[in-house]
Amino acid sequence: MQTIKIKDLEQFYDQEVLIQGFVENIRNLQYVIFMIVKDETGKVQVTIEKENNDELVKIVEDLTLESTIKVIGKCLNSPSVKLGGKEIIPKEIEVTSKSLEELPINIKDKDKTLRETRLDYRFLDLRREDNNLLFKIETTFEHALREYCINNGFMEIHSPKISASAAESGAETFKLDYFGEQACLSQSPQFYKQMAMASGFGKVFEIGPAFRAENSHTSYHATEINMADIEISFIDSFADVMDMEEAWLKYAFSKVYEKYGDQIQKEFKTELSNLDVAFPRITFKEAKKILKEEYHFEGERTDDFERKEEMLLCKYAKKKYNSDFIFVTKYPFAARPFYHNLDEEGLTNSYDLLYRGVEITTGAQREHRVDILVNQIKEKGIDPESLEFYIEFFKYGCPPHGGFAIGIARVLMQMLNIDNIREATFIYRGPTRLKP
């Protein structure tokens, strides 16, 4: 007999079915036992009348919560049952695994267990309904990102995760002692995306891991992240990149909202972002002026934003444009990598996309002219010889191009009103966490 997922039981009313799942709850009353069984798709009530059911009663009375079982029985549509009316009257119950009686964390109420303890027992923590929904949403979100790219003529690439040079700061890399020369885990597929442009691939994307050896303990940083990267050729300006990202994100968000919008509002107590308005765009200089005049706040950095400034700018975007998103453009070169293209004033043709108070994307037009690129490498105090393999990409014709990268967990964290990236990551890796 084939196992039926609980969400599909409505198709099998008045038929004998086989289900498998975890035991969530048992109510042992005088004449009847009610048992709630869950799988990744939903929950069902299993009802055991005690009279003439001694064998089934003994099995259930010996059960512990979170054990796994097989149940064969008749599926009924019972309006009095709260779980959508789904009820099974069992004729066979098989215990496939038995849980220890005392669980190390509280699955039903996460606030009753310390976060670090829950992360220690992440496999149990993930059994919560909100976590189950979170990773269904992530699956839909990533699928939609990929689907948009495929539908719009992108090629998917898989860049190496072991690199000879850092794409960002060499101080934030995980060093590897294996190849007889300096190597590190990749912080970004940036160099290889640009190589694809020099290869004539036109438009590429990648969804995969990146590694940042930051000694950061904030609520929105991790040492291993899942990133979606885009690079496109023959652009006229970085505005083309922003246009593409806005359309891409609106497509993915709309797919998530279409499938899970009601559940997001109910489970995560958050409103859905307005996708009908254009993402507002302001320059870095304008943003600093707004912060000073509207909110009387001046951050210590003159070339970048502090977290509070990002939050205030998103507050401004929500109030003025009814948008949860805002592009900030034209950052000073001091705050940007050497490969960002510069305008005539020496500002970068780059942007950050802020979403509900947090930066989720850095994007830019890249410098594709080899002589200017080498000068910018030197200006950053980097020896061009250390990037010789990268510079080769631009010596034999390379189109004007640009792109961006986005951290999947950080987006989901903001979308679903989750307070910490540790909760929005399947298995979190940080400066003090290497297990499970």
Q: What is the DSSP letter of 433?
A: B
The pLDDT assigned to 166 comes to: 66
Residues 207 and 314 occupy one common structural domain: yes
Strands (E) in 277-412, as ranges, are 281-283, 325-329, 350-355, 358-365, 401-407
DSSP labels, 215-227: ---STT--SEEEE
Token pair for residue 240? 């083309």
CA distances from residue 15 to 11, 311, 327, 374, 413 in whole angstroms, order as listed: 9, 55, 56, 72, 42
Residues 78 and 127 occupy one common structural domain: no
Residues 84 and 137 occupy one common structural domain: no
The pLDDT assigned to 167 comes to: 61
Residues 134 and 61 occupy one common structural domain: no
Q: Which residue has the tokens 């215990």?
A: 95
**How many angstroms separate the CA atoms of 436 and 148, rounded?**
34
Residues 205 and 351 occupy one common structural domain: yes
State the chain's mean pLDDT as an integer: 95
Residues 74 and 166 occupy one common structural domain: no
**Can you give the residue range of the structural domain that contains 294?**
123-415
User: Tell me: the pLDDT tens digits for 55-73?
Assistant: 999 999 999 999 999 999 9
Is it the case that residue 169 has pLDDT exceeding 90? Answer: no
Q: Examine the fold and report which residue of 40, 63, 97 is the final residue of a domain before the chain moves on.
A: 97
Peptide bond into 189 cis (omega under 30): no
More confident residue, 213 or 396: 396
Average pLDDT over residues 182-209: 95
Is it the case that residue 168 has pLDDT exceeding 70? Answer: no
In a domain, 118, yes or no: no
In a domain, 305, yes or no: yes
Per-residue buried b or exposed e for 383-407, using 16+ beta carbons within 10 Å of the residue's own CB: eeeebeebeebbeeebebbbbbbbb
Residues 76 and 144 occupy one common structural domain: no
Strand partners, 208: 227
CA distances from residue 346 to 332, 333, 342 in whole angstroms, order as listed: 8, 7, 5
The pLDDT assigned to 215 comes to: 79
Average pLDDT over residues 94-99: 98
Is it the case that residue 422 has pLDDT exceeding 70? Answer: yes
Residues 287 and 397 occupy one common structural domain: yes
In a domain, 12, yes or no: yes
Strand partners, 23: 37
Look at the chain and report how many structural domains it folds into: 2
User: Tell me: the pLDDT tens digits for 300-357?
Assistant: 999 999 999 999 999 999 999 999 999 999 999 999 999 999 999 999 999 999 999 9
In a domain, 255, yes or no: yes
In a domain, 314, yes or no: yes
Is it the case that residue 170 has pLDDT exceeding 60? Answer: no
Pick the closest to residue 23 from 64, 76, 53 (CA basis). Answer: 64
Residues 193 and 308 occupy one common structural domain: yes
Is it the case that residue 140 has pLDDT exceeding 80? Answer: yes
What confidence category does residue 180 fall into, taking pLDDT thresholds of 50, 70 and 90?
confident
The pLDDT assigned to 173 comes to: 86
User: Tell me: the pLDDT tens digits for 242-289?
Assistant: 999 999 999 999 999 999 999 999 999 999 999 999 999 999 999 999
Residue 130 CB neighbour total at 10 angstroms: 13
Is it the case that residue 46 has pLDDT exceeding 90? Answer: yes
Residues 60 and 135 occupy one common structural domain: no
Token pair for residue 297? 């706040």
In a domain, 424, yes or no: no
Is it the case that residue 371 has pLDDT exceeding 70? Answer: yes
Residues 245 and 347 occupy one common structural domain: yes
Residue 157 belongs to domain with CATH number: 3.30.930.10
In a domain, 384, yes or no: yes
Kindly tell me the sign of the dihedral angle through the C-alpha atoms of 299, 300, 303, 305. Answer: negative
DSSP labels, 339-375: TB-B-TTSBBSEEEEEETTEEEEEEEEB---HHHHHH
Is it the case that residue 171 has pLDDT exceeding 80? Answer: no
- Entry pTM: 0.93
Residue 11 belongs to domain with CATH number: 2.40.50.140
Residues 68 and 128 occupy one common structural domain: no
In a domain, 50, yes or no: yes
**How many angstroms separate the CA atoms of 209 and 317, rounded?**
31
Q: Which of helix, strand or coil describes residue 6?
A: helix
Is there a contact between 56 and 94 (Cβ–Cβ < 8 Å)? Answer: no
